[in-house]
Structure 1
Amino acid sequence: MSFTHRLVSKRDKLSASGVTIADWVLANTEKTMALTSQELASAIGVSQSSIVKFTQKIGFKGYSQFKQALTEEISRKFALQSSPLHANIAMTDSTSTIIQKLVKAKTDAIFQTSHALDSERFDRVVELINHAHKVQIVGMGASALSGKDLGYKLLKLGILAITEMDSHVQIGMARTLTPNDVQIVFSFQGTTKEINLAAETAKEKGATVIAMTSPQKSALRDIADICLDTVADESAHRASSMAARTAQHVIADAIFITLVKLRGDDGQEMINEIASQIKRL
Structure 2
Amino acid sequence: MKIINQIAQSRSQFSPSELKIAETILAHQERISKISSSELAQLAAVSQSSIVKFVQKIGFKGMTAFRLALSEESGRQQAIRLPLATNFPLHNAINSDDDAPTIARKLMQEKIRALVETTGSVDYEILGKIVTALSEARFVHITGLGGSMTVGSDFAHKLLKIGVIALIDPDSHAQLSIANTLGPQDIQVAISYSGRRKEILDAARVAQQRKARVIALTNPVENPLRALADLSLVTLAEEDQWRSSAISSRTAQNALTDLIFMVLIQTQSWRNDLIRDTQSLIDELM
TM-score (norm 1): 0.64
| Deviation per residue, 1:187-209 (Å, 9 max, x gap) | 00001001100001001111010
Corresponding residue for residue 151 of structure 1: 156
**Match for 1:99: what amino acid?**
A
**Match for 2:165: what amino acid?**
L
Corresponding residue for residue 135 of structure 2: 130
Q: Tell me if 1:211 matches 2:211.
A: no
Inter-CA distance 126–100: structure 2 relative to 1 (3 Å threshold):
same
Equivalence map 1:1-281=2 (5 Å): 88-235=93-240, 241-268=246-273, 270=275
Inter-CA distance 182–111: structure 2 relative to 1 (3 Å threshold):
same
**Match for 1:186: what amino acid?**
I
**Match for 2:231: what amino acid?**
I
**What SS class does the counterpart of residue 184 from structure 1 fall into?**
strand
Instruction: Please give the alpha-carbon distance, in whole angstroms, between the structure 1 residues aligned to 2:153 and 2:127.
Output: 20
| C-alpha displacement of 1:272 | 10
| C-alpha displacement of 1:268 | 3.8
Corresponding residue for residue 31 of structure 1: none
Instruction: Please give the alpha-carbon distance, in whole angstroms, between the structure 2 residues aligned to 1:198 and 1:237.
Output: 23
TM-score (norm 2): 0.62
Instruction: Please give the alpha-carbon distance, in whole angstroms, between the structure 2 residues aligned to 1:135 and 1:161.
Output: 5
| C-alpha displacement of 1:180 | 0.4
Inter-CA distance 197–236: structure 2 relative to 1 (3 Å threshold):
closer
Query: Contact 1:185/1:199 (CA < 8 Å) preserved in 2?
Result: yes
Residue-pair matches, total? 190
Instruction: Please give the alpha-carbon distance, in whole angstroms, between the structure 2 residues aligned to 1:189 and 1:106.
Output: 18
Instruction: Please give the alpha-carbon distance, in whole angstroms, between the structure 1 residues aligned to 2:144 and 2:104.
Output: 27
| C-alpha displacement of 1:267 | 1.6
Instruction: Please give the alpha-carbon distance, in whole angstroms, between the structure 2 residues aligned to 1:93 and 1:178.
Output: 51
**Could you list the runs of 5+ residues in structure 2 that have no partner in the other structure?**
1-88, 280-286
Inter-CA distance 178–87: structure 2 relative to 1 (3 Å threshold):
closer
Query: Contact 2:235/2:253 (CA < 8 Å) preserved in 1?
Result: yes
Instruction: Please give the alpha-carbon distance, in whole angstroms, between the structure 2 residues aligned to 1:241 and 1:94.
Output: 21
Root-mean-square deviation over aligned CA pairs: 2.3
Instruction: Please give the alpha-carbon distance, in whole angstroms, between the structure 2 residues aligned to 1:164 and 1:238.
Output: 23
Query: Contact 1:232/1:240 (CA < 8 Å) preserved in 2?
Result: no
Q: Which runs of 4+ in 1 moved over 2 A?
A: 234-240, 268-274
| C-alpha displacement of 1:271 | 7.3
Instruction: Please give the alpha-carbon distance, in whole angstroms, between the structure 2 residues aligned to 1:174 and 1:111.
Output: 33
Instruction: Please give the alpha-carbon distance, in whole angstroms, between the structure 2 residues aligned to 1:90 and 1:131.
Output: 47
**Could you list the runs of 5+ residues in structure 1 that have no partner in the other structure?**
1-83, 275-281
Larger Cα-atom Rg:
2
